[in-house]
A and B are shown apart, each in its own frame.
Chain A
Amino acid sequence: MSPGMGSATVHALVVVGVALAVAAGLRSTWSP
């Protein structure tokens, strides 16, 4: 795996992670 590919993976995980994070954070508003 080239260094560039590793960086792209991190970027992809950040995009996916941020989308999940926003959904999880807002959804948790309905926590007890």
Chain B
Amino acid sequence: MLGSITPLGERGRGSRWWVTAIAYVLGSTLAAVAVGSGLGFLGSSFAGRMPPTARLAVVALAVVVGLLVDVGSFGLRLPTVRRQVDEGWRAGYRGWVWGFGYGLQLGAGVVTVVTTSTVYVTWLAAALSGSAVAGALIGSAFGFARAIPVLSVAGVRRPDQLLHVDAVLVRWAAPARRATYGVGAIVVCLALLGAARW
């Protein structure tokens, strides 16, 4: 995705990169806030009746199960849609339109390919918060974090720089995966600590 929104590409399409990038970040954040607050609102009908310990324990358990699925334990595979954003939009629409549209889809988290169980557990936490505001906070963190790496390609103005970005992405894929597992482990500890308080 990062290689799709670069100053090099936008110059070729006659668009301004910063406009497309801001639209993308905005779209992603708005979509995630909408999903998070919606789930928090839906969760308010049942989460409040669950004991605090149970809510945190469910999140901790979901993280553990999710990470087991992520590493392919027991032959399990992460359920996901196979859909991706429509590449044709980039040629057919203005930069800010497709940037915003891509952001909306990617910020929702689950309408394009899902590569990590933490996406699902994030939305589970939003629902179990039982609050539209709390869900919106969680959503905004997801949508912003999902889109903000686009700034890392702000300096890509030549084809060789784009190739370098691709190489960096490949190089960082494994560390990013391990970092996700690490955060998952920390979250489990936090959730269990929180649960133990009650």
Q: Count residues of A near B (Cβ-Cβ below 8 Å).
A: 27
Interface size grouping (class) on chain B: 35 or more
Q: List the B side residues contacting A15 at CB < 8 Å.
A: 190
Are A29 and B128 in touch, CB under 8 angstroms? no
Known A-B contacts A14-B134, A16-B59, A31-B1; A25 and B145 likewise in contact (beta carbons under 8 Å): yes
Q: List the B side residues contacting A9 at CB < 8 Å.
A: 52, 55-56, 194, 198
Are A24 and B84 in touch, CB under 8 angstroms? no
CA distance A19 to B126 in the complex (A): 12
Interface digits, A4-32 against B, CB 8 Å rule (1 contact, 0 not)? Answer: 01101110111111111111111111111
A-B pairs with beta carbons under 8 A, tally: 144
Q: Is B48 an interface residue (CB 8 A)?
A: yes
CA distance A32 to B55 in the complex (A): 33
CA distance A1 to B59 in the complex (A): 19
Are A27 and B134 in touch, CB under 8 angstroms? no
Are A13 and B141 in touch, CB under 8 angstroms? no
Task: Write the nearest CB–CB distance from A31 to chain B, whole angstroms.
Answer: 5
CA distance A10 to B47 in the complex (A): 10
**CB < 8 Å: which of B59, B139, B143 contacts A13?**
B59
Complex interface: stretch among B6-14, B16-24, B88-96, B109-117 = B109-117
Task: Write the nearest CB–CB distance from B92 to chain A, whole angstroms.
Answer: 21
Q: Is B156 an interface residue (CB 8 A)?
A: no
Are A17 and B122 in touch, CB under 8 angstroms? yes
Residues of chain A at the chain B interface (Cβ within 8 Å): 1, 5-6, 8-10, 12-32
Q: Can you give 28 A-B contacts (C-beta < 8 A)?
A: A1-B51, A8-B52, A10-B130, A10-B134, A12-B56, A12-B194, A13-B56, A14-B134, A16-B56, A16-B59, A17-B125, A17-B126, A17-B137, A19-B190, A20-B63, A20-B122, A20-B187, A21-B141, A22-B183, A24-B146, A25-B141, A25-B142, A27-B115, A27-B177, A28-B109, A29-B149, A30-B177, A31-B112
